[in-house]
């Protein structure tokens, strides 16, 4: 059996004002998992537990078949970690950081590091304090990628970047996946970035994983139906429809398990289907979060 790159089983962590509830998460090798959640959803807490930086109160975490946090030293040899709140030493140059990392990781690839310097438009001799935010993120990613880790863990790496820098970074991450043995866990509240590179998507909100599946399955299953419902017609509650919003004669139904039978059922109830639309990942995410919150509050 192939080992999972990441496995969370019933992981929880309690703080005074925030609780991470019973997280189950699996990332197979060779996959890019996008972890999407609003600010304060628990993405960073999940990732910090994964990295052994904070200890879970309960549950099991395995990363590259190492138990975390007990075997974090062994695991970290093969993990490249970068987060939005991670900074390099601003008084030192990028070259100093490259030599520092190279002296630790025997798998450091100097040719790839030089290639990344060129691709990212960075100067090795420049001090970190002289770099823009985008350049700092690229410098951090260079240090992570050139050590050729089996698993990349990226916590909001594209936050605050301009579109060009985001594109450069996402392109490089996609290129990294040419090596099929590698895996990436990529957290963001920017669904466009996640949609662009991920194979699998996990939604997290208020410390709970509210859904997790293959990206294509999400995009295939979710539909928005625009309906015209004459007065006096009551739209039926159908399985697979998580939300109906009606304004006068017009209604919008959101389905998370769309099948043609849903449209037929509305037509049989007297409504007219104006349009059936595919949904973007952002729209799916917002609908899922709202539905999940309604369920929890009910």
Partner 1 sequence: MKGSVVWTLILSDLHRHRTFILFSILSGGLALVLIQVGGELPSLLGTIWFFTGMIVLGCMLPGSNVINERKKQTLPFLMSLPMSISQFTAAKIVSTFGIFFVPWLTLVITAVAFIAGHKGIPHGIIPVVIVLSTFVFVGFGLNAGAALVTESEGVMVASMIVTNSSYGFGWYMLARNPAIGAGMKSPVIVWSKEILTVLGAEFAVIVLILGLTFYFQSRKRDFV
Cα–Cα dist 93/130, whole Å: 9
Kindly tell me which of 90 and 162 has the beta carbon lying closer to partner 1. Answer: 90
Residues in the interface with partner 1 (CB under 8 A) total 27
Q: How far is the CB of 73 from partner 1 (least distance, A)?
A: 5
Q: Which of 9, 10, 55, 249 binds partner 1 (CB under 8 A)?
A: 55
Sign of the CA dihedral running 125, 126, 129, 135: negative
Q: How far is the CB of 234 from partner 1 (least distance, A)?
A: 52
Question: Within positions 59 to 118, which residues make up the interface with partner 1, using CB under 8 A?
Answer: 72-74, 76-77, 79-83, 85-92, 100, 103-104
Cβ-based neighbours of 283, under 8 Å, separated by 6 or more: 222, 224
DSSP state, 127? B
Kindly tell me which of 104 and 164 has the beta carbon lying closer to partner 1. Answer: 104
Q: How far is the CB of 16 from partner 1 (least distance, A)?
A: 13
Q: How far is the CB of 91 from partner 1 (least distance, A)?
A: 7
Which residue is associated with the tokens 């450091």?
A: 108
Cβ-based neighbours of 105, under 8 Å, separated by 6 or more: 77, 147
Cα–Cα dist 153/82, whole Å: 7
Cβ-based neighbours of 285, under 8 Å, separated by 6 or more: 36, 191, 203
Q: How far is the CB of 193 from partner 1 (least distance, A)?
A: 20
Q: Which of 12, 22, 40, 53 binds partner 1 (CB under 8 A)?
A: 53
- The mark string for 119-148 relative to partner 1 (x by CB under 8 A, - otherwise) is ---------------------x--------
Kindly tell me which of 91 and 164 has the beta carbon lying closer to partner 1. Answer: 91
DSSP state, 83? E
The per-residue DSSP string of 87-115 comes to ---TTSBHHHHHHHHHHH-TT--HHHHHH
Question: Within positions 147 to 186, which residues make up the interface with partner 1, using CB under 8 A?
Answer: none
Interacting residue ranges for partner 1, rule: CB under 8 A: 48, 51, 53-55, 72-74, 76-77, 79-83, 85-92, 100, 103-104, 140
């Amino acid at each position: 059996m192939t080992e999972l790159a990441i496995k969370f089983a019933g992981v929880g962590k309690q703080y005074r004002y925030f609780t991470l509830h019973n997280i189950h998460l699996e990332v197979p090798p060779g996959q890019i998992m996008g972890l999407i959640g609003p600010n304060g959803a628990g993405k960073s807490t999940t990732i910090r537990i994964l990295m052994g930086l904070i200890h879970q109160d309960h549950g099991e975490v395995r990363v590259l078949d190492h138990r975390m946090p007990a075997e974090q030293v062994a695991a970290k040899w093969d993990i490249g970690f970068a987060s939005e709140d991670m900074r390099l030493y601003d008084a030192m140059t990028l070259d100093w950081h490259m030599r520092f990392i190279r002296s630790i990781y025997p798998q450091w690839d100097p040719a790839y590091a030089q290639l990344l310097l060129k691709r990212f438009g960075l100067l090795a001799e420049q001090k970190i304090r002289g770099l823009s935010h985008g350049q700092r993120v690229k410098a951090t990613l260079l240090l992570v990628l050139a050590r050729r880790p089996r698993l990349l863990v990226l916590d909001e790496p594209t936050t605050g970047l301009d579109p060009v820098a985001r594109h450069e970074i996402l392109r490089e991450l996609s290129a990294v996946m040419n090596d099929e043995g590698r895996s990436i866990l990529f957290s963001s509240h920017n669904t466009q970035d996640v949609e662009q590179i991920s194979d699998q998507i996990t939604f997290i909100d208020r410390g709970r994983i509210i859904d997790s599946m293959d990206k294509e399955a999400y995009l295939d299953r979710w539909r928005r139906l625009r309906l015209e419902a004459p007065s006096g017609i009551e739209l039926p509650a159908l399985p697979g429809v998580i939300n109906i919003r009606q304004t006068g004669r017009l209604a919008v139904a959101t389905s998370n398990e769309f099948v043609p039978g849903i449209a037929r059922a509305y037509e049989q109830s007297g409504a007219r289907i104006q349009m059936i639309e595919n949904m973007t990942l952002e729209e799916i995410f917002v609908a899922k979060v709202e539905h999940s919150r309604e369920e929890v509050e009910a």
